[in-house]
Amino acid sequence: MALSAALLAAAGELTQRIHEGVVARGFEGVRPAHGFAFARLAPDGATVGDVAAHLGVTKQAASQLVEELVRKGYVERRPHPDDARARLVVLTELGWACTRAAEEAAADAVRAWAEVVGEDEMRALHARLAGIAPYGPIRPAW
């Protein structure tokens, strides 16, 4: 199996498992791309442009995605403290709960893998990946 195929298969499988875990924990109407947006929003919020760059899509697409998350109650738009044009998108309590659920689901999935290849190996894998693609966007499609 080619490396690219292996990477994609692993990434896809992990993404799907996390998504299933999130749904199983009772969060509805969320897609994997939302989860990656949450990851960018989590610490202190972010602008639509930040989310767009993180997901590797246009600002308009990110704006639509945020709008959807607002409708569903996962995030809210607040005025940006330093820039009157910008709006700071922050997670609501529901958004935080969903993020925690995703982290739990991810931990479960990684644990399952660690049982196959060993925990040290997983850490090594993670470290190598981080060295290879430090800050690339999380392309939701291609």
Partner DNA sequence: AGATTATGGTCAAGCAGCTTGACCAAATAG
Partner DNA sequence: CTATTTGGTCAAGCTGCTTGACCATAATCT
Tokens of 67: 């709008």
* Least gap, CB of 115 to DNA (angstroms): 30
Q: Which of 22, 34, 36, 50 binds a second copy (CB under 8 A)?
A: 36
Site string for DNA, 31-50 (x = CB under 7 A): x-x-------------xxxx
Q: Give the whole-angstrom CA distance, residue 91 versus residue 81.
A: 16
Q: Which of 28, 79, 93, 141 binds a second copy (CB under 8 A)?
A: 141
Tokens of 3: 């490396």
Q: Give the whole-angstrom CA distance, residue 73 versus residue 82.
A: 25
Q: Give the whole-angstrom CA distance, residue 103 versus residue 48.
A: 23
Site string for DNA, 73-112 (x = CB under 7 A): ----x--x--xxxxx-------------------------
Residue with tokens 């308009």: 60
